[in-house]
Amino acid sequence: MPARLSVNLNAVAMLRNRRDLPWPSVEGLGRVALTAGAHGLTVHPRPDERHTRMSDLPVLRALIDDEFPGAEFNIEGYPTAEFLELVEKIEPEQVTLVPDDPSQATSDHGWDFVAHRDFLARTVQRLKKNGFRVSLFADADPAGVAAAAATGADRIELYTGPYGSCHDDSASGSNELERLGKTAEAAFSAGLEVNAGHDLTVANLPALMRRLPRLAEVSIGHGLTADALEYGMAGAVGRFLKASGW
C-alpha cells in the first residue's frame, strides 16, 4: 500500500498569522484536505506560535474526532516538558520528536541518536505509556538507525530536505535518494517503520515512492500549500495522492 498522506498545516497557519484575522482558516483547510482524501493532518506548534497556535490544536483534534474518525493527527516538536504535557492533553495518534531549537525557521536535521539516546529513550517510554505512536526525525544515515531503534520508538521520519533541494540537479538527487533508501532498509531491518517529510513535491515524490515502497507516511506542507495556490487545497491533495500512488 502507498504511503499515507498527512497534510502539514503550518504554512496555512503562518499565512493566517500575517494579519489579526481568522483566515485562511486552519480548521477549514484541514477539513478540505481530509475531504479530498488526505489521511491525516500534521502540525508543529512552536513556543512562539509563529504558525500553528496552541489554540489550533483542540480545534483540529475535534475536527478529526467528529468528522474524520479514520484520519490521524500528528504533532511534531522538540520534547520539552511543556510539549509533552501538550500532547498528553491533545492525544494525537502520532508524536514526531524533532531536535529543533525554538528559533529555527524549520526543521533542518535529524537527531544524533547516540548522543541523545538516554533522553530519547525516557521520552519515548513516557509517550508510549500514554498510547501514542512515536516517530523520531532522522537524517539519511544508516549508521544511526540501530541507536534510533534502541530508544523504543515505533518509526523514524526521514528528513528529505537534502533530496528536495536537488530539484535542479538530477545526479545529486539520485545520490540523496539512494542514501534515503539505504537508511530506510536499515530501519526496516531494525524493526522500525519509516515516514518521510520535508520539501517533497509532486515532481520528486514518485521517485521516492519507487525507491522506498514500504514508506508508511509522507508529511507534506510547504510544497502542497504552494500547489494549493494554483490548484486549490482539494486539487493539491489530489495531485499529491496521485504522485504517491493512491
Is the omega angle on the peptide bond into residue 24 within 30 degrees of 0, that is, cis?
yes
198 is catalytic: yes
Under 8 Å between Cβ of 26 and 13? yes
Instruction: Give pairs for 213-217: CB < 8 Å, separation 24+.
Output: 214/184, 214/188, 215/2, 215/3, 215/184, 216/3, 216/4, 216/155, 217/3, 217/4, 217/5, 217/6, 217/39, 217/40, 217/74
The Cα 47–Cα 102 span in angstroms is 7
DSSP H or E run through 11: helix 10-16
Residue 134 C-alpha cell reads as 512515536
Among 72, 193, 198, 217, the one annotated catalytic: 198
DSSP string, 152-180: T-SEEEEE-HHHHTTTT-HHHHHHHHHHH
Among 76, 157, 193, 217, the one annotated catalytic: 76
Which of these, 82, 78, 94, 159, lies nearest to 127 by C-alpha position? Answer: 94
157 is catalytic: no
185 is catalytic: no
Among 39, 44, 51, 217, the one annotated catalytic: 44
Active-site positions? 44, 76, 198
